[in-house]
Amino acid sequence: MSTPLENWVEEVAGLTRPERIVWCDGSSSERERLIESMLKDGTLIQFDEKTYPNCYLHRSDPRDVARTEKVTFICTRRKEDAGPTNNWMAPEEAKNRVRPLFQGAMKGRTMYVVPYIMGPSESPFSKVGVEVTDSAYVAVSMGIMTRTGRVALDRLGRSDDFVPGLHSLGDLDPEHRFILHIPEEKLIWSVGSGYGGNALLGKKCFALRIASWMAREQGWMAEHMLILGLEDPGGRVTYMAAAFPSACGKTNLAMMVSALEDEGYHVWTVGDDIAWLHPGPDGYLYAVNPEAGFFGVAPGTNEQTNPNVMEALHRNTIFTNVGFTAQKQPWWEGLTEQPPQGMIDWKGNPWSPSNGPAAHPNSRYTVSARQSPSISPRWEDPAGVPISAFIFGGRRAKLEPLVYEAYSWQHGVYSGATLASETTAAATGAVGVLRRDPMAMLPFCGYNMGHYFGHWLEMGRRLTHPPRVFHVNWFRRDADGRFLWPGYGQNVRVLKWMLDRIDGTAEARETPIGLVPTPQSLTLDGLKLSNETLEALLRVDSGDWSTEIEGVKDFFSKFGNDLPKELHHEAEQVIRRLEHTAVSGS
């Protein structure tokens, strides 16, 4: 008798009509074969074998370079279950609309069946997915980003407990592109894009959108968060998870080389993008990284901003939409101060400064996590790591101070729910526009975000040791537009302040928005920061915050009765504290 997986593969093959079907076993010989075939048909170009062994360039269709949120749908039977922030179609309507795009879409192509595990192979928290795709680039990238092949089939056995994901490049016409999630069936359909966030279905589609739905049903959390361990001079490691919107520095923070290394503070990487968090028997929240690789933004990455990833990137890496130098090496804006001579740009044309950037602003590297020198010895711990702090952060040129701590879990949920950030190139659309991005999950929450906030509140009630909640902003600027804070490895100073708060040794000042460090409580020695700059970084301006609250109220009103009353209460508390400050003048 065939297995549920075999039945599904037969069904989708009947729809898409591939020339041949290849079941991927995840072996290195299979990877080599696939790469060989992509080098032949031009899907990949090889970099210099001496300096970048096993590294390849992929140039995507220039219309297919980022996530396309406009055509990403949550397809629940009831519209209210998708909520006001998601695009919605009813499941049958969505399937009827998109099925014709899959019909015969794989004619003359190979269909790859990629079984994969999200999460460490031995972890009880891990889950199986199977992606069927007609893109060899996707099949190989899945092999870096997840644990694929035999290991997943062995875990699955004859069970039907897997998330099926059907993917086809289709004709790559943006008008024929859809990314559908049907959470009630745990089903994903993606057509018309080969871009990572749309096409590597284990990542955003499963590990966030479908998993967030499962997590609410099952009492855990699927979050858009990096996970790091901060080791102190005594060798104790404290784990923290941070939610920042796409392309706001999660990878760099997770992989940082600490500026306080000499003082004994070291940062270990557990994950750079997604955390699955489960309450443990001791009342702490335990996090696993469901992924096995990093799909990071290349521009701006260099030896200063992220030396760990630079080391990892020199072998077994796929680069997408970067420049190609005369020495057959990858290049992107910010890699070196001076662009090299004689480069080919991301579209395959000779580059000159007048024809735009050499690398697309959302160009990416795909690399195995284990290649990072910073990888934590516990990154595959089946039980996960206990989380002591949640950190929210966005890009805000004004308003948000460098760091503050929430007064309580409930206030922390409010601070996450009101997170706002200036948009980046990770999704198509205008860059630099302020948008609300609660918990950095706006594009990734697989259900009504009002209910999602309720789930956060509920999780806090279930934990005897909920993480402390902090909010950071590395991106505040002065009147001339210069960043006030140096960022990158110096961010460890802010993590250290959080650690000291957790240990009860750092001072903070009460403000209307939360607990802000006193200047003396931050470890700033060795950093040339003037008193005025520090004061500007820690400033909480009541007038600006009163305006901000109006925006928050507006945003909250979208959710109607689905918004938990606790969040209205927290907004009222901030207003009350702002009014009190205005009256007392403090």
CB of 209 to ligand OXD, least distance (A): 12
Q: In the complex with ligand OXD, which residue's Cβ is closer, 116 or 295?
A: 295
426 touches ligand OXD (CB under 6 A): yes
Residues 276 and 215: beta-carbon distance below 8 Å:
yes
295 touches ligand OXD (CB under 6 A): yes
Catalytic residue among 55, 75, 205, 248: 248
451's contact among ligand OXD, Mn ion, none, with CB below 5 to 8 A by partner kind, is none
Q: In the complex with ligand OXD, which residue's Cβ is closer, 472 or 513?
A: 472
CB of 179 to Mn ion, least distance (A): 15
CA distance 578 to 580: 5
CB of 579 to Mn ion, least distance (A): 38
Residues 333 and 357: beta-carbon distance below 8 Å:
yes
Site for ligand OXD in 563-582 (CB under 6 A): none
Q: Within 10 A of 281 (CB to CB), how many other CB atoms are there?
A: 6
Among the listed residues 273, 437, 548, 566, the single contact to Mn ion using CB under 5 A: 273
Please spell the DSSP secondary structure of 33-47, one letter per residue: HHHHHHHHHTS-EEP
The partner residues of 517 in beta bridges, in order of sequence, read 508
H or E segment at 253?
Answer: helix 250-254
Stretch that binds Mn ion, among 23-31, 49-57, 272-280, 356-364 (CB under 5 A): 272-280
Give the number of residues in contact with ligand OXD, rule: CB under 6 A: 6
Q: Is the dihedral of CA 8, 12, 14, 20 positive or negative?
A: negative
Please spell the DSSP secondary structure of 520-561, one letter per residue: GGS--TT----HHHHHHHT---HHHHHHHHHHHHHHHHTTGG
Residues 438 and 416: beta-carbon distance below 8 Å:
yes
CB of 204 to ligand OXD, least distance (A): 7
Name residue, tokens 């080969």.
194
Q: In the complex with ligand OXD, which residue's Cβ is closer, 271 or 279?
A: 271
Q: In the complex with ligand OXD, which residue's Cβ is closer, 255 or 498?
A: 255
Give the number of residues in contact with Mn ion, rule: CB under 5 A: 2
Residue 361 CA: distances (Å) to CA of 58, 304, 358: 15, 19, 9
Q: In the complex with ligand OXD, which residue's Cβ is closer, 120 or 197?
A: 197
User: Which residue's C-beta sits nearest to Mn ion?
Assistant: 273
CB of 273 to Mn ion, least distance (A): 4
CA distance 498 to 303: 26
Q: In the complex with Mn ion, which residue's Cβ is closer, 273 or 548?
A: 273
* Residue 542, CB-side half-sphere exposure with 13 Å CA sphere: 14
DSSP-derived 3-state class of residue 326: coil
291 touches Mn ion (CB under 5 A): no
CA distance 47 to 317: 10
Please indicate whether residue 55 is annotated as part of the active site: no
What the block records as the tokens of 67 is 């996530």
Q: In the complex with ligand OXD, which residue's Cβ is closer, 190 or 246?
A: 246
As a three-state string, the secondary structure of 457-505 is HHHHHHCCCCCEEEEECCCCECCCCCECCCCHHHHHHHHHHHHHHHHCC
DSSP-derived 3-state class of residue 311: helix
Q: In the complex with Mn ion, which residue's Cβ is closer, 189 or 294?
A: 294
Walk across the sheet containing 56-58 and list its strands: 45-46, 56-58, 318-320, 364-368, 293-297
67 touches ligand OXD (CB under 6 A): yes
The contact pattern for Mn ion, residues 229-268, with x = CB under 5 A and - = no contact, is: -----------------x----------------------
The contact pattern for ligand OXD, residues 491-530, with x = CB under 6 A and - = no contact, is: ----------------------------------------
Q: For residue 386, give the nearest of 459, 463, 464, 287 by alpha carbon.
A: 287
273 touches ligand OXD (CB under 6 A): yes
How large is the C-alpha radius of gyration of the chain? 23
295's contact among ligand OXD, Mn ion, none, with CB below 5 to 8 A by partner kind, is ligand OXD
72 touches ligand OXD (CB under 6 A): no
86 touches ligand OXD (CB under 6 A): no
322's contact among Mn ion, ligand OXD, none, with CB below 5 to 8 A by partner kind, is none
CA distance 574 to 551: 13
538's contact among Mn ion, ligand OXD, none, with CB below 5 to 8 A by partner kind, is none
CA distance 446 to 453: 13
67's contact among Mn ion, ligand OXD, none, with CB below 5 to 8 A by partner kind, is ligand OXD
CB of 77 to Mn ion, least distance (A): 28
CA distance 317 to 370: 12
CA distance 242 to 35: 35
395 touches ligand OXD (CB under 6 A): no
476 touches ligand OXD (CB under 6 A): no
Residues with Cβ < 8 Å from 382, sequence gap 6 or more?
120, 122, 123, 124, 125, 288
Stretch that binds Mn ion, among 93-101, 271-279, 340-348, 399-407 (CB under 5 A): 271-279
Q: In the complex with ligand OXD, which residue's Cβ is closer, 446 or 454?
A: 446
Among the listed residues 197, 290, 299, 330, the single contact to ligand OXD using CB under 6 A: 197
* Catalytic (active-site) positions: 248
| Interface with ligand OXD (CB under 6 A) | 67, 197, 246, 273, 295, 426
| Interface with Mn ion (CB under 5 A) | 246, 273
